[in-house]
Structure 1
Amino acid sequence: MRVHRILGTAVAAAALAGTTLVAGGPAVAAPGTAAASCTAKALETVIIRDRTSTSGAALAQLNKGQTASSPCQMFYGGSYTACGITSTRWVKVTKSGVTGYVVGTCVLQPA
């Protein structure tokens, strides 16, 4: 019962913050939500993956200083350590027609 209460609280908090929670699989935005358009800039070279996990297939690379379009949402998935920070936050990006996820600690995305 306690697990359901904690999970429910986390989902509610994410909804209030406008984020989507994902558990290591392909991230899906909440139905009926129109995401704004942002630009994500790589602070370090990052791999664009097919899911929010470091074991996700590498689709492309976003080099340091390059930008990619992003829906201004955070996604949560597998844990990683990158750019000196351990996190579970991922950013969805599209670059040259390739859409995937990059580690969130190594990209700058305007709020």
Structure 2
Amino acid sequence: MSQISTHVLDAALGGPARGVAVTLSQADGLELATGVTDDAGRVADLGPERLDPGTYRITFATGAYFAATNRDTFYPRVSIEVAVAGPGEHYHVPLLLSPFSYSTYRGN
């Protein structure tokens, strides 16, 4: 099981955002892993089982998602930087999305 997971919800439609491409990278841009949200809007295994402490970036291809659902968006991409403190913790990063806004938090 990876140390990072995510869940994308489409607030405008009131359900999961299926088919959103997600990338995990180091802060310097080195790509570590990719995934695509499933029918529940989740990527359960995004990246390795263990990450060194540091800053990582999770990028969501929101423009492609909205284009696939025939909607315009102000945010073609959403990037969230997270601070990983150590190998013993799991980091769940949900994204609540609409065409013209988004929010996130540390989930469990």
> TM-score normalized by structure 2?
0.27
Structure of greater Rg: 1
Using CA pairs under 8 Å that are at least 6 residues apart, name the structure with larger relative contact order, 1 or 2: 2
> TM-score normalized by structure 1?
0.26
